[in-house]
Structure 1
Amino acid sequence: MKLKYIFTVLGVMLLGLTSCGKKDTPKTNPFAGTQWEYIKSAADEQGKSEIRTATINFTDDSHFTFQTGYKVTTKDGTIKESSETDKINGTYTYNGLVATATATTKEEGKQKTVKLTLTMDEAKQKLTAVSSTEGEKEETATFTRKK
């Protein structure tokens, strides 16, 4: 009788362990709620530096915002000139660690659709963005995670 009881308990435990596999875990969006930043700076011989920034904020499961900035500083750190673009809103879809995003912008009175392919690294700390706009050369940038 004891042997039958032991095998029954072992069978229930085995059944419990196999029913909770990886397939049961819900898929979560690795992009939603994250913020990313790209910074590129260059300095000349006189000590003047130019800093360009871009930020991507994934607000939820299908929307994001994008904004760029520009700043020129003198050798002593004084800001000589700076500007920031309006936030651009767009939508995205994702498959694993790759997102495809689209946004519509207006430049010089013309409406343009920008397509971004965003690939997150396995550690979820770097985001490689490849942007393509109709009639223009593709651009690549690597963003680091802010949040």
Structure 2
Amino acid sequence: HELALSGSAELNWLTTWQPYCSRVLDPMLGWDPGVERTVIWYDPVTNERRLTGKLAEIMSRVRFERRQEEPLPIVWIDDEECYSTSKTQIESLEPAAPVLMVRPDERIGISRRQWRLICDFLDDSSGFPSVSLDEEGTVRDHAAHVGL
């Protein structure tokens, strides 16, 4: 939130809770839809794109950044869909700016170590590979997984 408010980052929220963001979550978090944008990536009635929508949105952003004169790096944080298969698909697009994929432990969220990595990446992404994946060491597979 602070990074988005300061203009240091553009925050686009790809959450399965998207139908509840404007009514419940944004007000609870104190988020302003003009600052933190909820991306509509699946249809909550039909569930169309539920299994493919997040990665499709990230890949769309990578393609967008490839067309820019000054492409911006991307951070994708997701406890369900940041996997090596997603990394490979993003790499195939040959991003114009680095992409950092962060898979936190769903039980604790982003760790302090991962937060430092994200901040380092945002400060200077030039030393990072075109696509990197960071998975928290305590991550476990979970039965409720709906992504890749």
TM-score range, shorter chain: under 0.3
Q: Which structure is higher in helix share?
A: 2
Higher relative contact order, chain-length normalized (CA < 8 Å, sep 6+) = 2
Whichever structure has more strand as a proportion of its residues is 1
Please report the TM-score for the alignment, with normalisation by the length of structure 1.
0.23
Q: Which has the larger radius of gyration?
A: 1
